[in-house]
Amino acid sequence: MLILTPVLCALMTGPLAHRVHRRLAKADWWFEVPLSQTSAAMRNWSGATPENDWLWRHRRLELRDRTDALRAWFSSEPTLSRSVTVCGDPVPKAPFVGITLHYGPGLWSLRMLKSLGVRASFLSIPMRREDYPGRPLLFLFESARNFVASRLGTASVTYASNAFDQLATLLTQGQSIVGMLDVPGVSPKYRRRADLLGREISLPTGLIALAAQRQVPILAFYVRERTPGGPLELVTRVLAHGASADPFDEVSRFLCGAITDDAAPWHAWSWPSPEKAFEARSPVPARSEVP
């Protein structure tokens, strides 16, 4: 049902879809991940048990993200201008490397880039049926989501396995690249530590290294609600090539700061084990604090 709901809600008006999302967010049987698992993930990370309103909002935004993937695909320019505004730095001229998060209804960002004339190839992990045991419909839905991303970005999806040279070629050809900062499973050689909600986590550095090698700017961004169920903001931060001594630090602080300010839209709370996925651990005390 979590797969069929976005299709039906995409056919509704925005206010009606919002009411449906709010009602369904409280129905545990409607979701693959029980509310208790999401609550435990947040509690294990922060030490505090989240309120039900926080959990229901997290779920509502999960539903909105899936619904809005379809809305963004079929939206007209007037609909886009009513739905999303850019908040922050102006989007740079292509090519650039875009870095974002699994956060909120994010595919509107690709729709906005398309409106600005940017061709962007979305970087994704490979889609494999074996990663969805007993869940063939979810595999088809996620595959369809990548298809939507390719249409919104007006360029084919690039799959992450051994893709560095391929991505460099796309940048040389004038295409931009958009990928996620919050992805697990990358070799430790290409990861660094960052702070998130009182924990140190491991994040990949490949996209930032790619931007440095090709001497292109970085566009860090995420999408957030301006009002519940209503218009959205594409929040942006641009790092020109050579403008920062440590672009990883600036990008990670900007994007992790979004989660620190409002953690409910982060999709990872409903993943099997966010702590394990990001190798979360308590920060090492400063030397002066060690007895």
pLDDT digits (tens, 9 = 90+) for 186-213: 677 789 999 999 999 999 999 999 999 9
More confident residue, 132 or 218: 218
Structure confidence at residue 2 (pLDDT): 60
| pTM, 2 dp | 0.91
Per-chain mean pLDDT for the chain: 89
In the beta sheet, which residues pair with residue 99? 179, 220
Q: Report pLDDT digits (tens) over 247-269.
A: 999 999 999 999 999 999 999 99
pLDDT over 70 at 286, yes or no: no
Region 174-184 average pLDDT:
92
pLDDT over 50 at 287, yes or no: no
pLDDT over 90 at 57, yes or no: yes
Region 104-129 average pLDDT:
88
Tell which residue, 102, 238, 242, has the closest CA to residue 181: 102
How many percent of the chain have pLDDT more than 90? 64
Region 136-145 average pLDDT:
77
Q: Which residues contact 91 (CB under 8 A, 6 or more apart)?
A: 112, 113, 116, 118, 219, 236, 238
More confident residue, 159 or 164: 164
Residue 288: which pLDDT band, with cuts at 50, 70 and 90?
very low
Rg (the chain; Cα; Å): 19
Structure confidence at residue 128 (pLDDT): 78
Exposure class string for 55-83: b at 16+ Cβ within 10 A, else e? bbbbbbbbbbbbbbbbbbbebeeeebeeb
Residue ranges of domains in the chain? 80-282
Region 206-221 average pLDDT:
95
Region 239-244 average pLDDT:
87
pLDDT over 80 at 134, yes or no: no
Residue 23: which pLDDT band, with cuts at 50, 70 and 90?
very high
Report the amino acid identity of residue 207: L
